């Protein structure tokens, strides 16, 4: 028990001494001492204390020979404490300031890596992920021979998968909304969204599913369209169906697509019949109107002769 008590007392005294020592450093104006202490705390892994001391000494030593290492450590200290956005900014500032430094390549990579680590899951806003992609591409363009190049590629690939998943979930949301009371605008939104997805992610595993849904949605949209728009949209749906059959000849969706195509063709034939009937009735109405006009003119001419 006595030994344990002595140990606790010793540790407490050391802690108090350490706190007292750090407190004095915070108040010190001995910049050499502060610089050495900041580096010491950084090397020991006490990054929070290192940051506090670097905050004091960096404005004074900036531009001197000591500043380069201090600023590099300062950026890393923020990274080690998981302040990724701050560290990304400090690494970029370091690179811009010391782009000929032996540490410049690592600084630019860490700028990108910090942004990558800060990027959110696919179901959240991906604007910061796009910033990370831009930073990674900047690194790859600047240092194409870097040992970290392959690692940067894998980071890009991971972020692209997040973008893909985010876009797919948005597509599913639009598709779900077509089941509501007012699906018209959502049909059109689905068609545009599905086409944009295929352009943005041509190798996606989701393309076959969305291509099927494109046929399905376009057919439903055409079927519910006003008469003046019906022919154009029915033909577009048939184009989507034909494109699907050619691109995915062995798809599990193929039978459903064939059924939709057959239904759409029947709908188009019915449209043409109605259109033909309408044109015939219109032509007959025009003929009767013209005949009435001729009879009227003849009657008026006859009355003129009689008078």
The yes-or-no verdict on residue 102 having pLDDT over 70 is yes
Question: What mean pLDDT is predicted for residues 200-220?
Answer: 95
The full length of the chain comes to 307
Structure tokens at 167: 């876009």
DSSP string, 215-227: HHHHHHHHHTS-H
Q: What is the pLDDT of residue 295?
A: 74
- At residue 19, the pLDDT reads 57
Q: pLDDT above 90 covers what percent of the chain?
A: 65
Burial class for 87, CB neighbours closer than 10 Å (0-12, 13-18, 19+): buried
Residue whose entry in the numeric block shows the structure tokens 């959110």: 120
CA dist 278 and 109 (Å) reads: 69
Residue 200, C-beta contacts closer than 8 angstroms, at least 6 positions apart: 163, 164, 167
For residues 13 and 225, give the distance between their C-alpha atoms in angstroms, rounded to a whole number: 83
Q: How far is residue 176 from each of residues 160, 173, 183, 187, 218, measured CA to CA in Å?
A: 24, 5, 10, 10, 14
- What angle separates helix 149-177 from helix 184-200, to the nearest 10 degrees? 160
Q: What mean pLDDT comes out for the span 203-208? A: 96
Least confident of 100-104, 119-123, 259-263, 266-270: 119-123
Superfamily of domain 181-307: Tetratricopeptide repeat domain (1.25.40.10)
CA distance 99 to 85: 20
Answer whether residue 113 shows pLDDT above 80.
yes
Model pLDDT for residues 27-54, shown as the tens digit of each residue: 666 778 889 999 999 999 999 999 999 9
> What is the arithmetic mean of pLDDT over 101-129?
86
**Single pTM value for the model:** 0.73
| Look-up of token digits 């910090």 | 114
Q: Residues 84-177: name the CATH superfamily.
A: Tetratricopeptide repeat domain (1.25.40.10)
Give pLDDT, residue 12: 46
pLDDT at 11: 46
Pick the more confident residue, 256 or 19. 256
Say which range, 8-12, 77-81, 137-141, has the weakest mean pLDDT.
8-12
Q: Write down the H helix ranges in the chain.
A: 2-27, 31-44, 47-61, 67-80, 84-97, 104-118, 127-142, 149-177, 184-200, 207-223, 227-247, 254-306
Give the pLDDT band (50/70/90) at residue 65. confident
User: DSSP state, 183?
Assistant: -
With a cut of 80, say whether residue 129 has pLDDT above it.
Answer: yes
* pLDDT for residue 126: 64
- The predicted pLDDT at position 14 comes to 47
Q: Judge if 84-177 and 181-307 fold alike in CATH terms.
A: yes
Q: What are the boundaries of each domain within the chain?
A: 9-81, 84-177, 181-307
The DSSP 8-state label assigned to residue 115 in this structure reads H
Mean pLDDT estimate for the chain: 87
């Amino acid at each position: 028990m006595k030994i344990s008590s002595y140990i606790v007392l010793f540790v407490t005294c050391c802690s108090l001494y350490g706190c007292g020592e750090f407190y004095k450093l915070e108040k010190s104006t001995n910049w050499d001492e502060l610089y050495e202490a900041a580096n010491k705390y950084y090397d020991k892994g006490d990054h929070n204390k290192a940051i506090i001391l670097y905050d004091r000494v960096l404005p004074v030593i900036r531009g001197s020979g000591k500043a380069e290492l201090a600023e590099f450590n300062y950026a890393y200290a923020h990274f080690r404490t998981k302040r990724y956005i701050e560290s990304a900014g400090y690494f970029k500032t370091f690179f811009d300031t010391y782009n000929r430094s032996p540490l410049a390549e690592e600084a630019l990579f860490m700028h990108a890596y910090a942004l990558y680590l800060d990027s959110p899951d696919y179901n959240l806003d991906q604007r910061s992920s796009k910033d990370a992609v831009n930073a990674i591409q900047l690194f790859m363009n600047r240092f194409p021979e870097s040992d970290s190049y392959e690692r940067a590629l894998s980071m890009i690939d991971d972020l692209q998968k997040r973008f893909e998943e985010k876009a797919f979930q948005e597509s599913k949301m639009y598709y779900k909304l077509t089941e509501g009371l007012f699906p018209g605008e959502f049909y059109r939104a689905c068609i545009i969204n599905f086409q944009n997805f295929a352009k943005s992610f041509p190798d996606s595993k989701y393309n076959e599913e969305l291509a099927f849904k494109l046929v399905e949605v376009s057919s439903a949209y055409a079927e519910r369209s006003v008469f003046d728009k019906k022919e154009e949209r029915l033909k577009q749906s048939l184009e989507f169906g034909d494109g699907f059959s050619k691109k995915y000849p062995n798809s599990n969706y193929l039978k459903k697509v064939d059924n939709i195509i057959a239904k759409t063709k029947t709908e188009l034939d019915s449209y043409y019949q109605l259109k033909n009937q309408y044109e015939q009735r219109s032509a007959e109405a025009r003929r009767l109107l013209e005949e009435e006009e001729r009879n009227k003119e003849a009657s008026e001419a006859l009355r003129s002769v009689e008078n």
